Amino acid sequence: MYIQYTMDQLHLPMDLEDDIPPHHLIRVVNEAVNRLDDQIFEDAYPGGGRDSYHPKMLTKVIIYAYTQRIYSSRQIAKAVRENVMFMWIAGRQRPDFRTINRFRSERMKDVLETIFTGVLQFLAEEKYVNLEHYFLDGTKIEANANRYTFVWGKAVVKQKAKLQEKVKTLFATIDAAERQEDQEQASQDLAELGEASELTSEKLESAVQQLEANLASRLKDKPLKKAVRVLRKDLLPRLQKYEAQQEILGDRNSFSKTDPDATFMRMKEDHMRNGQLKPGYNVQIGTENQFIIGYSLHQRPTDTRCLKPHLEKVKAVLGKLPHTVIADAGYGGEENYAYLEEEQLEALVKYNTYHKEKSKKWQQDISKLDNWQYDEAEDVWTCTAGRKLLFRYESKETTESGYEIQKRHYRSEGCEGCPFKEACTKAKGNREISVSMKYLRYKQQAREKLRSEEGYALSVRRMSEPESVFGQMKNNRGFRRFLLRGLPKVSLEVGWLSLAHNLLKKAAIDQKPEKAAQG
């Protein structure tokens, strides 16, 4: 009536491998990590103490866990004890969650990129990627930080300025009292401190120590005693706090108190639709055939300033840069075009007005410089009404990163009586423009490339390259918030995610009939 069922009988075979299907993802992970040179892991293990778990085993366990949407070290340790796939790849060993977490966030900090490069190398050898096209894009992922414990750069500057005014006022009061007692030397020192252009905590500490020394011989001077107490207990600690916060901020405008490396950014996942800023990181990746070729992590919310450091990191890791870089309008600034030209890369990078230029409204807008004529020989612009704009002078602008932009300034000979003036400019006088000729040249080059047959095909393909990878990470594998804190550890998380994604993609391709037939 029933199939025989007993839990007390030994069953054969006992080898777990017989329960693993031939083309299962776990076998892809196993094969990929086995192909890595053992020497890669040597630097992560200085030696001494009890024997460690084999790094290849732990690497396989973590990568496979990330492919299965398991990111918590406790959940990974639980899977190693209970899940057949994890038992097989771990060789029935049972590392605890502390070992797993320490391995992925500390042991691997100097070798994970080497492992990523090793896996990428064998993907290239087997023709999954050829490192010719590099589709670049970024996404923001929320940090593991409290959303409401923030520090804003402008607030720090404002509060620090108020505090400095309080200190100067207090020292002015002390100085006046000192003068009444004809203590000229102390008066001179205090006045010098109060008039300083930049009051630092070191200067204030020195002044407070001097006041404390003066107070030792004037124990009955209650106003001085109160002033010293306020300086020592309140104003000096606050100034030190503001300086520490400014050091953490650097050139950022905010950071989270629970993860100081995280910056407050506007996320796409805005369910309340109130534009709430959340602590997060800007993850930049480059893909080819939807494999991740390079990744980097940034504290800036905008993509523009991320292109150069991202490609510099890719170059350092891979030893070279792919031949063609394809990116959207978020990267299309003069500084980025100049960098790509300097690196002799083929750039298919849109600029911010690329799509607007195609609209009828833009083409009929007489105020747009793109609709005017430029005579290079005479260095003269001619507007829609036929009025000439003559060169006046040249200026230079320096960006935050130190890049220098040269601009040429032109002014109309005369806009009086022009019937198009109201549609052209709001200025009361003659129309003036400032132009970066270098940026105009870059835009024209980008326009020609993007409108070519190959350029158009690559720009269309870009929409299904990194965007699909981000969709896989966030939606299909549910990774919407980092587990670790601090830029170095979060960068490692992105590395593990990238490794998991590439092996998942390889497994998916291998299971297609045409690929299986080739194998």
Res. 268 pLDDT band, cuts 50 70 90: confident
pTM: 0.86
180-215 pLDDT, tens digit each: 655 444 444 444 554 445 788 888 888 888 888 877
Q: What is the pLDDT of residue 215?
A: 77
How high is the mean pLDDT of the chain?
Answer: 87
164-177 pLDDT, tens digit each: 888 888 888 877 76
Mean pLDDT of 109-113: 89
| Res 13 pLDDT > 70 | no
Give the CA-trace dihedral at 476, 482, 488, 491, to 10 degrees: 10
Q: What is the pLDDT of residue 49?
A: 67
State the Cα angle at 72 between 71 and 74, rounded to 5°.
140
Q: Are the CB atoms for 187 and 178 separated by under 8 Å? A: yes
Mean pLDDT of 297-316: 93
Q: Beta strands 324-327 and 346-349: pairing type?
A: parallel
Judged by phi (left if over 0) then psi (alpha if -120 to 50, else beta), residue 386 lies in left
State the Cα angle at 249 between 244 and 254, rounded to 5°.
120
Q: What is the 8-class DSSP label of residue 85? A: H
Instruction: For the chain, give the percent of residues with pLDDT over 70.
Output: 90
Mean pLDDT of 141-157: 91
Higher pLDDT among residues 408 and 226, named by residue? 408
Instruction: For the chain, give the percent of residues with pLDDT over 90.
Output: 57
313-330 pLDDT, tens digit each: 999 988 888 889 999 999
Q: Which residues pair with 346 in a beta bridge?
A: 324
| Res 1 pLDDT > 80 | no
* Range 115-134 burial, b when 16+ CB lie within 10 A, else e: bbebbbeebbeeebbebebb
Q: What is the pLDDT of residue 143?
A: 94
| Res 260 pLDDT > 90 | yes
Q: What is the pLDDT of residue 170?
A: 85
SS3 label, residue 348: strand
Res. 407 pLDDT band, cuts 50 70 90: very high
| Res 381 pLDDT > 50 | yes
Mean pLDDT of 344-355: 91
| Res 47 pLDDT > 90 | no
CA 173 to chain centre: 48
Distances in whole angstroms, Cα of residue 76 to Cα of each of 42, 115, 429: 24, 20, 70
* Lookup: tokens for 200: 């630092």
Q: Are the CB atoms for 228 and 215 separated by under 8 Å? A: yes
Res. 299 pLDDT band, cuts 50 70 90: very high
Higher pLDDT among residues 417 and 59, named by residue? 59
Q: Which residues pair with 150 in a beta bridge?
A: 256
Mean pLDDT of 55-79: 95
SS3 label, residue 6: coil
Rounded distance, CA 73 to CA 490, Å? 15
Distances in whole angstroms, Cα of residue 33 to Cα of each of 90, 293, 500: 13, 17, 11
Q: Which one of 167-181, 218-232, 439-453 scores highest in mean pLDDT?
A: 439-453
Q: What is the 8-class DSSP label of residue 481? A: B
Q: What is the pLDDT of residue 202?
A: 87
| Residue 328 identity | D
Check the CA dihedral 465-471-474-476 and report its sign.
Answer: negative
Q: What is the pLDDT of residue 446?
A: 93
